[in-house]
Amino acid sequence: MMKILDQIEEPSPAISYAGLIERIEILRSTLRWSSRLERTDIDKLLRQATSLRDEVMQLSHKERFVQAATSAEPHEHVDQSRGARRKALLERSFIFEGTFGDNARLLESLEIAEKAAPTDLPVLIDGESGTGKELMAKVIHANGSRADKPFISVNCGAIPDNLLESELFGHRKGAFTGASNDRKGKFESAHTGTIFLDEIGELPLAGQVKLLRVLEAHEIQRVGSDETIAVDTRIVAATNRNLRQLSEEGKFREDLFYRLSVIHVTLPPLRERRDEIPLLIAWFGDEAAGTLKRRPVRLTPRLRDFLLNYAYPGNIRELRNVMYRVSCLAGDMADVDHLPVDIRPAAPGSAAASANASASATGQEPISVANLMSLSDAKRAASDDAEKAFLERGLREVNGTVAELARRIDMNRSHLQMLLKKHGLHSKEFRNRAMPQANRNGADEHDEEEGDG
Ligand SMILES: Nc1ncnc2c1ncn2[C@@H]1O[C@H](COP(=O)(O)OP(=O)(O)OP(=O)(O)O)[C@@H](O)[C@H]1O
Ligand SMILES: [Mg+2]
């Protein structure tokens, strides 16, 4: 028994459907043949099941990513080449780490990341809050030769100035009040891996000097120590400030700026890559549905219109939050009422609403974008509708007898019940009351349908 468990403990690095199915089968037979399971075995099996699920998710994300890319509006030449570019990245086994979108500027950043990843060159990523800087840093790490080594993230803006140096470089016992022990810093922890210096613009000048030294000599000194320690750490830094401007103002060392930005990636704000919004809506809608264990929420045209034209000061993070929020609050269909109050558009007819309308009438917002429903959304809606119509027709034909319908369409009965529930269909309502009692052969299934909510 434990032998079988141990065999499936180590997932293979390359995920394929065949490999996954094999592992699922091993898991299944482990369960089938075991007469008794200890709690530790159960935990182990659960862990394996979880990792299998995650890998299936990853595969299906990958697949949808290609699908979305290749199904992009064929009349647009640009989209075709975008699809091809993204597909090419995939074919070269590029790891996206969940990065989604098909804007030309984003793809360009990903292509830069792909080329920069295997090198040890420092990378500077800038962009507004929520544009995906940290995600991009992870992409660079995951695609490089250090992928299986540590990725250490330090938020330079969140640590008090007087502690930052010790945090990054470590300190010696007694170096300052409170330094009761020798301590190693993040650079040492990130040795052989990658260090991600977030909000690098907040690094005080003294720390900047030390950082420069790491970049030049690949060595550090703990605070309060003369001893130099060699570190082999790849540096990826991020900022939402304009470092060039900061360096002109004397707040950031110019030489450090140039050292850090050998490869410079700027992530555009979401409002400058609106063409990506429909894809991101579908992506985060699916993701939220998975997390919340519900079917993907549908959006009213009014909400979709809003989401396509909103300015997103919080960028992708804000769009993601909104999709999670509406997926959590709405039933089948989400509307503008489900938006957070502070961004919710005013009710039609109000002064604010007509101001909005005239703003868009003057052409400030690209109105045509509002008409772009993503193809995958349209397909999903159509397929849902077809499913519902099929079930309704079936129920009518079998006079509301679920067991009979399940037999006729060769479907597992509980699966059918689930589908009926999903569409809010009540089999009772399809029963012909004029029918004589004797003809109703499924009286026993009354109970299981009453749970419909
Ligand atoms: N292209 C993308 N595809 C999918 N998800 C994305 C994308 N870009 C960002 N995200 C998601 O948006 C959220 C914000 O991204 P991230 O934390 O990388 O942004 P950031 O630029 O570091 O933000 P901040 O400046 O506020 O720290 C994360 O949940 C991230 O996974
Ligand atoms: Mg960040």
Chain-centroid distance, C-alpha 331: 22
Instruction: Verify whether ligand 1 is closer than 6 Å to residue 392 (CB atom).
Output: no
Question: Is residue 129 domain-shared with residue 257, that is, in the same domain?
Answer: yes
**Minimum mean pLDDT among 105-109, 157-161, 373-377: which range?**
373-377
Query: Does residue 57 form part of some domain?
Result: yes
Instruction: Verify whether ligand 1 is closer than 6 Å to residue 68 (CB atom).
Output: no
Q: Is residue 14 very low, low, confident or very high in pLDDT (cuts 50, 70, 90)?
A: low
Residue 336: predicted pLDDT: 94
Residue 270: predicted pLDDT: 94
More confident residue, 128 or 379: 128
Question: Atom 13, ligand 1: which residue's CA is nearest?
Answer: 317
Classify strands 228-230 and 219-221 as parallel, antiparallel or unpaired: antiparallel
Centre of ligand 2 from the C-alpha of residue 201, in Å: 13
Q: Is residue 4 very low, low, confident or very high in pLDDT (cuts 50, 70, 90)?
A: very low
CA distance readout (Å), 59 to 65, 70, 97:
10, 17, 12
Question: Is residue 115 domain-shared with residue 215, that is, in the same domain?
Answer: yes
Instruction: Verify whether ligand 1 is closer than 6 Å to residue 129 (CB atom).
Output: yes
Centre of ligand 1 from the C-alpha of residue 129, in Å: 8
pLDDT in tens, 387-427: 888 899 999 999 999 999 998 888 888 888 878 887 788 88
More confident residue, 252 or 378: 252
Question: Is residue 21 domain-shared with residue 114, that is, in the same domain?
Answer: no
Query: Does residue 75 form part of some domain?
Result: no
Cβ-Cβ contacts under 8 Å for 444 (sequence gap 6 or more): none
pLDDT in tens, 94-132: 888 888 877 888 899 999 999 999 999 999 999 999 999
Query: Does residue 231 form part of some domain?
Result: yes
Q: Is residue 18 very low, low, confident or very high in pLDDT (cuts 50, 70, 90)?
A: low
Question: Is residue 355 domain-shared with residue 390, that is, in the same domain?
Answer: no
Ligand sitting nearest the alpha carbon of 316: 1
Instruction: Verify whether ligand 1 is closer than 6 Å to residue 316 (CB atom).
Output: yes
pLDDT in tens, 162-209: 888 999 999 999 888 888 899 999 999 999 999 999 999 999 888 899
Reported as half-sphere exposure (CB side, CA atoms, 13 A), residue 63 has a value of 9
Question: Is residue 246 domain-shared with residue 126, that is, in the same domain?
Answer: yes
Domain enclosing residue 402, as ranges: 377-450
Residue 414: predicted pLDDT: 81
Centre of ligand 2 from the C-alpha of residue 177, in Å: 31
Query: Does residue 441 form part of some domain?
Result: yes
Instruction: Verify whether ligand 1 is closer than 6 Å to residue 134 (CB atom).
Output: yes
**Minimum mean pLDDT among 76-80, 150-154, 211-215: which range?**
76-80
Query: Does residue 50 form part of some domain?
Result: yes
Residue 368: predicted pLDDT: 37
Question: What is the average per-residue pLDDT within 275-290?
Answer: 91
Question: Is residue 151 domain-shared with residue 255, that is, in the same domain?
Answer: yes
Residue 102: predicted pLDDT: 77
Instruction: Verify whether ligand 1 is closer than 6 Å to residue 190 (CB atom).
Output: no
Question: What is the average per-residue pLDDT within 226-245?
Answer: 94
End residue of a domain, out of 373, 401, 417: 373
Residue 2: predicted pLDDT: 45
Number of the ligand 1 atom closest to the C-alpha atom of 136: 18
Question: What is the average per-residue pLDDT within 11-24?
Answer: 64
Name the residue among 174, 121, 166 with its Cα closest to residue 144.
121
End residue of a domain, out of 222, 252, 268: 268
Residue 378: predicted pLDDT: 66
Q: What is the mean pLDDT of the chain?
A: 80
At 278, which CATH number?
A: 1.10.8.60
Side chain identity at 447, as an amino acid letter?
A: D
At 107, which CATH number?
A: 3.40.50.300
pTM of the model: 0.64
More confident residue, 452 or 260: 260
pLDDT at 370 over 70: no
Query: Does residue 426 form part of some domain?
Result: yes
Question: Is residue 342 domain-shared with residue 404, that is, in the same domain?
Answer: no
Instruction: Verify whether ligand 1 is closer than 6 Å to residue 240 (CB atom).
Output: yes
Question: Is residue 285 domain-shared with residue 259, that is, in the same domain?
Answer: no
Ligand sitting nearest the alpha carbon of 280: 1
Residue 10: predicted pLDDT: 43
Strand, helix or coil for residue 119: coil
Question: Atom 12, ligand 1: which residue's CA is nearest?
Answer: 317
Centre of ligand 1 from the C-alpha of residue 334, in Å: 24
Question: Is residue 180 domain-shared with residue 34, that is, in the same domain?
Answer: no
Question: Is residue 55 domain-shared with residue 169, that is, in the same domain?
Answer: no
Question: Atom 23, ligand 1: which residue's CA is nearest?
Answer: 130
pLDDT at 363 over 60: no
Number of the ligand 1 atom closest to the C-alpha atom of 276: 1
CA distance readout (Å), 410 to 53, 134, 316, 397, 426:
27, 48, 43, 15, 20
Centre of ligand 2 from the C-alpha of residue 290, in Å: 24
Centre of ligand 2 from the C-alpha of residue 377, in Å: 30
Residue 354: predicted pLDDT: 44
Instruction: Measure the CA–CA gap between 102 and 105, rounded to whole angstroms.
Output: 8
Question: Is residue 343 domain-shared with residue 388, that is, in the same domain?
Answer: no
Question: Is residue 110 domain-shared with residue 217, that is, in the same domain?
Answer: yes
Instruction: Verify whether ligand 1 is closer than 6 Å to residue 320 (CB atom).
Output: yes
Query: Does residue 314 form part of some domain?
Result: yes
Query: Does residue 43 form part of some domain?
Result: yes
Ligand sitting nearest the alpha carbon of 239: 1
Name the residue among 40, 53, 124, 135 with its Cα closest to residue 95.
135
Residue entry with tokens 């990130």:
190
Residue 243: predicted pLDDT: 92
End residue of a domain, out of 50, 70, 90: 70
Question: What is the average per-residue pLDDT within 230-257?
Answer: 93
Number of domains in the chain: 4
Q: Is residue 375 very low, low, confident or very high in pLDDT (cuts 50, 70, 90)?
A: low
In our burial notation (b when 16+ CB lie closer than 10 A, e otherwise), range 141-170 reads bbbbebeebbbbbbebeebeeeebbbbbbb
Residue 383: predicted pLDDT: 77
